[in-house]
Amino acid sequence: MALTFFVGVLPFFFSAGARAQEKNAAYYFDEYKQPVGFTYGAKAVVNANYLWRGLYCGAFNIQPSANVGYGGLYLDMWWNIGTLDWSFRTFEPEVDLSLGFARWGLNVYVLYIHNFNCGFFDFHNYPDKGNRLEIDFRYTVSSKLPLSILWATRVAASDGYINAAGDTVRAYSSYAEISYTHTFPHDISLYGAVGITPWRSCYTWYERDFAVQNIDVRVRKDWMVSEHCGMMLQGELSINPSALAADKSSLPWRPFSPFRQSVNVNLAFGVYLK
């Protein structure tokens, strides 16, 4: 659904960009000037819940991150430090490392996810635990038209299920998402996204094939403390249509076992340097 919409509207954006260039007013497309010099940034966010691609992944947490880059090439480190659910019985940290290249609106990167339930360089295909490695592609039209499409596929490590013969099958779990951010005055922004999984994958607990995985809406307010330092407050609503279709009850709320909930919310506060 999301991919069909994207393919359908893509020619419009290209034709609109061509007309804009004829009028010397390239509104839809940036010039994408070559990145110059060394870049860096850091951020720390406190979340009421850890929501990711339509999945509930944990409760109260702190998520710090830092990145460095040069000429479009960058390295990013992201941490999740928090509890697994609101019973506060389980502590499950996570670290993600991203190595990528961003240029001309295209961002291509390798993402390594480590959950500390196995060795750091353990790449066995566990069905329920282990490291994960995926390749992601994201394209954003421009800062003036912030329409973005993402494709992510797991290529190694933990991503499998047990088939009827008792063998572990690698799923190559994939996720596609189309999103858009609209900016209002006073540094207020509204973000909307629709994500799908095209075949049997971790996003549906390896139980179903194609599924609309998430419909996300976020409202965010930013405050700039200085030229390079800011704060943000964000509210998020995430609906998982796949889980909603599989669950015949009316949106059950399971605060001590929320991982298959159809609807989740999050409130986040963060500070960042850029």
Q: Domain spans of the chain?
A: 40-159+166-250+264-273
| CATH number at 40-159+166-250+264-273 | 2.40.160.40
DSSP characters over 141-196: --SSS-EEEEEEEEEEES-EEE-TTS-EEE---EEEEEEEEEEETTTEEEEEEEEE
The burial class, CB within 10 Å (0-12 / 13-18 / 19+), for 186 is: exposed
DSSP characters over 39-106: EEEEEEEEESSEEETTEEEESSEEEEEEEEEETTEEEEEEEEEEBSSTT---B--EEEEEEEEEETTE
Of the candidates 137, 125, 208, 147, which has an alpha carbon nearest to the alpha carbon of residue 175? 137
Q: What is the pLDDT of residue 34?
A: 67
End-to-end Cα spacing for the chain: 35
Q: What is the pLDDT of residue 201?
A: 93
Residue identified by tokens 């954006």 is 13
Q: Are 210 and 198 in contact (CB under 8 A)?
A: yes
Rounded-to-integer distance, Cα 263 and Cα 243, Å:
9
Rounded-to-integer distance, Cα 6 and Cα 64, Å:
32
Amino acid at 16: A
Q: What is the pLDDT of residue 9?
A: 46
Cα of 130 vs its chain's centroid, Å: 20
Q: What is the pLDDT of residue 31?
A: 65
Give me 39's structure tokens: 């870049």
Element (H, E) at 223: strand 211-224
| Tens of each residue's pLDDT in the chain, 274 residues | 444 444 444 444 444 444 444 444 455 666 666 666 899 999 999 999 999 999 999 999 999 999 999 989 999 999 999 988 887 888 889 999 999 999 889 999 999 999 887 888 788 777 667 789 999 999 999 888 999 999 999 998 888 888 888 888 889 999 999 999 999 999 999 999 999 999 999 999 888 889 999 999 999 999 999 989 999 999 999 999 988 776 655 455 555 567 778 889 999 999 999 8
How crowded is residue 39: how many other Cβ atoms within 10 Å of its Cβ? Answer: 15
